[in-house]
Structure 1
Amino acid sequence: MDSFAPALLTDQYELTMVSAALRDGTADRHCVFEVFARRLPTGRRYGVVAGTGRLIELIRDFRFSPADVDFLRRAQVVDDNTAAWLAAYRFSGDIEGYAEGELFFPGSPILTVSGTFAECVVLETLILSVLNHDSAIAAAAARMVTAARGRPIIEMGSRRTHEDAAVAAARAAYLAGFASTSNLAAGARYGIPTTGTSAHAFTLLHDSEPAAFGSQVAALGKNTTLLVDTYDIAQGIRNAIATAGPGLRAVRIDSGDLSVLAQHSRELLDSLGAPDTKIVVSGDMDEYAIAALAAEPVDMYGAGTAVVTGSGAPTAGLVYKLVEVEGKPVVKRSENKATVGGRKTAVRRHKPTGTATEEIILSQRAPQHEANDRLLQRPFITAGEPAEMPTLADSREHLRQCLISIPWEGLKLSAGDPAIPVTIVPTT
């Protein structure tokens, strides 16, 4: 599939609005749009902001090429006036928001985009597609990391999603605390550690399991992981240790009752004189399956489908809404979709111990600071110029610290209220 420039990753209705606004003279009105979630996915107690680093780069490069404009004219999507406007498009406004790796809750203004109506509205689809996808993956992955209790998790979901989404998902999972990915493009693009074992096909290719193991060890050495459940797991482990010796790094189990198999495998490895050989489990791992194995002798998890699909919540449910026009708050009053007007400012309130207690969001004014408050918004683009963004490692650490700060109840996998309450104070 061909890759498209960021500008064509746009819904047609955005250009419909731009065309009409240019015609009636409202295109240049100064506006403020905000990205927020009305609610968290069912069962979730927090959201995770992810994708901001990718998004700012995409907005920086958001241009309508001559070929793009020609396509839009030939398809009669835009008229001549709009085509000329698109050809000269450069975002010249301001964007601020929550840091990548920050937690968010219902109503949190995680991204604020200000500028002319036309230049802001044309970014809606791009902004939502990036943030909804990456934030959903990061939230699911963060829950898995919590459930793993310090044991490493490998992201292995590339074969379960679109090829471009796989790279973004690997980045979001690593942000959330995963140890590595199997996706080489993510490793090359973002510096994420990569890892890989082998598939059952490799074992089936050879005349015997020992022959397959011997080939892998000959090529990669003992610091590799042998897949032992193609045939009989117990015999597979015996063959693995007989081939590689007790210095084998790990064995992987990809099927069966993993709780029972992990116990038996650990006992067998120990009896074979391989107490340091690790046990990796994979196969439909989500946060609940990982939590169920917490007491078992598992050393590492491999998670795929559940990660790249948001573990049942494939979108973060974020929306992009106009909240202010030329300094005046505007309010959408639709049933079940009402918004609070005006540009928001948000702080996270903490106890002296560092535990978060509340998020305060005020419209069109700054909150009065208390001793342990933390401002949540920071500039990403000012007058069209991108700021220097944190590294992926910085954002990964930021999320780790955020998860430490919320009350322990907020880390539960069971359904419940958001980890901290949110107070939204509208303009008066």
Structure 2
Amino acid sequence: MNTAHLGLPVDVPSTALFTDRYELTMLHAALRAGTADRRSVFEVFTRRLPEGRRYGVVAGTGRVLDAVANFRFDQRVLDFLAERRVVDDATLDWLADFRFRGDIWGYPEGEVYFPGSPVLRVEGTFGEAVLLETVVLSILNHDSAVAAAASRMAVAAAGRPLIEMGARRTHELAAVAAARAAYVGGFASTSDLAAGFRYQIPTVGTSAHAFTLLHDTERDAFTAQVEALGGGTTLLVDTFDVAEAVATAVEVAGPELGAVRIDSGDLLLLAHRVRQQLDDLGAKNTRIVVTSDLDEYAIASLAAAPVDAYGVGTRLVTGSGHPTCSMVYKLVARAESDDPDAALVPVAKKSVIGKSSVGGRKWAARRRDADGVAEAEVVGSGPVPDDLADRQLLVELVRGGEVVGREPLDAARERHVAARAGLPMSATQLSRGEAVIPTEYLHA
């Protein structure tokens, strides 16, 4: 099975070992106890948003579906587990035939979420559902953190294009996932070719300072780049003197030069100076791209500057200070007996202040005011009120083990724009605050 589209090396046949050992030891013990086949419901949620954030962004759902579909224990994996004595022979036999046959519902990718939102609901036997915990959380926590940062940066950019360029600042596989999540959150393109190949995200890139330093003069470097890539290319103008470089760039490429990039210095001041110089040189359509450790606050500070596009790396792929969403995967209901038709009973952790959870198989809906603006996230475990019946958030993703919720990445990207637009205006303020709408619980 070729799993290159998952961000995995092509010789890795499954996602089954993207898990913690205790998932398998719990399965082992449950099989011995005769409880592994009890119907169970797990939910993914976060108890709080990262400090200062007003909303979260669901990202990684498509990758979760890929991971579930490829969660198989082939012979190499089984041999590894046997050699390490992770589980007994009976459990290995059970794993040899494993495929997830349950159901998964969740917030569609690109949707916003709040504390307590059941972002994903996994239903099946305890044995099959518990195995998915680690891989599901690793994907959703990472991708949603990047997407949330991307969304805030997109708001700050106010329609100006954003370029994801963080591949050199994170793990090589995480870089591909980050580019995908950034695209969901509002970025227009990526510098990472693997992300472009796997997810059809537009890719961009021209040259670094090394290319300029390779040549005897800056003019030689610019000439080589323009001759190779055409006058519409982007020339990097801050290797030496910015004003001199801009003048040389226009001389070499002509007034139809595509863009210049500034990667250091006082970006606000330089952008104004470069714009004036370009205009004076007749290059009125030449765009200005800025990079250099940008985040949403730096982008917002450049709102009045004549900047046409932003390139963001480190702060984006690390979630702009919040590299995880602290999502958890908790058992919220299980059958009251081993009978396949036994009723589900709510269960919940209550032992530690601040780490408790709400039991019961839940639905979620977003209540809106008369103007269509969200005013509360309503989460319930009983009947859905009539006034919320057409506003439910969870959609079917997996039915009987078969993926039914795949969609183009652009659909998630477009959904996020619409979801964010439906929030109160204060959601897009960069100042710190609590969740922009409260979460209300309705119990059965």
What is the TM-score with the length of structure 2 in the denominator? 0.94
Is contact 1:349-1:373 (8 Å) kept? no
**1:90 is paired with a residue of what secondary structure?**
coil
User: Deviation string for 1:246-294 (max 9, x for gaps)?
Assistant: 0001000000010111111111111111111000000101000000100
| 2:398–2:405 Cα contact (<8 Å) kept | no
**Does the 8 Å CA contact 1:346/1:375 hold for their aligned counterparts?**
yes
Assess if the C-alpha contact under 8 Å between 1:349 and 1:372 holds in 2: no
The residue number in structure 1 matching 2:208 is 199
Aligned to 2:178: 169
TM-superposed CA distance for 1:223, in Å, is 1.1
Specify the alignment match of 1:414 in structure 2: 431
2-structure distance, mates of 1:370, 1:136: 32
Distance 1:85 1:149 in 2: 53
Aligned-partner SS, 1:7: coil
Is 1:73 equivalent to 2:90 in the alignment? no
Q: What is the TM-score normalised by the length of structure 1?
A: 0.98
Aligned to 2:54: 45
Quote how far apart the aligned CAs of 1:373 are.
5.3
Q: Which of 143, 147, 150 is residue 141 of structure 1 equivalent to?
A: 150
Alignment of structure 1 residues 19-58 onto 2, 5 Å: 19-58=28-67
Aligned counterpart, 1:405: 422
Q: Which amino acid aligns with 1:419?
A: V
SS in 2 for 1:226: strand
Does residue 357 of the first structure (1) align with residue 375 of the second (2)? yes
CA distance in structure 1 between the aligned counterparts of 2:85 and 2:388, rounded to whole angstroms: 57
> What pairs up with 1:27-426 in 2 under 5 angstroms?
27-326=36-335, 327-335=344-352, 336-363=354-381, 365-370=382-387, 374-426=391-443
Q: Secondary structure in 2 aligned to 1:370?
A: helix
Deviations 1:22-49 (A, max 9, x none): 0010100100000000000011000000
Q: Which runs of 5+ in 1 are unaligned?
A: none
Amino acid at match of 1:361: V
SS in structure 1 of the partner of residue 41 of structure 2? strand
Q: Distance in 2 between matches of 1:209 and 1:373?
A: 61
Percent of paired sites with the same residue: 58
Return the alpha-carbon distance in structure 2 between the equivalents of residues 75 and 426 of structure 1.
45
Task: Encode CA deviations 1:328-365: one digit per residue, 9 max, x unaligned.
Answer: 000110221111100111101112322111111101x2
Q: Is the 8 Å Cα contact of residues 47 and 115 (structure 2) preserved in structure 1?
A: yes
Structure 2: gaps spanning 5 or more residues: 1-7, 336-343
Q: Deviations over 1:201-223 (max 9, x none)?
A: 00000000000000000000011
Give 1:371 shift. Answer: 7.1
SS state at 2:219 partner: helix
Output the aligned Cα RMSD.
1.2
CA-to-aligned-CA distance 1:129-165 (integer Å, 9 cap, x gap): 0000100000000000000000000000011111111
CA separation in 2, counterparts of 1:220 and 1:352? 53
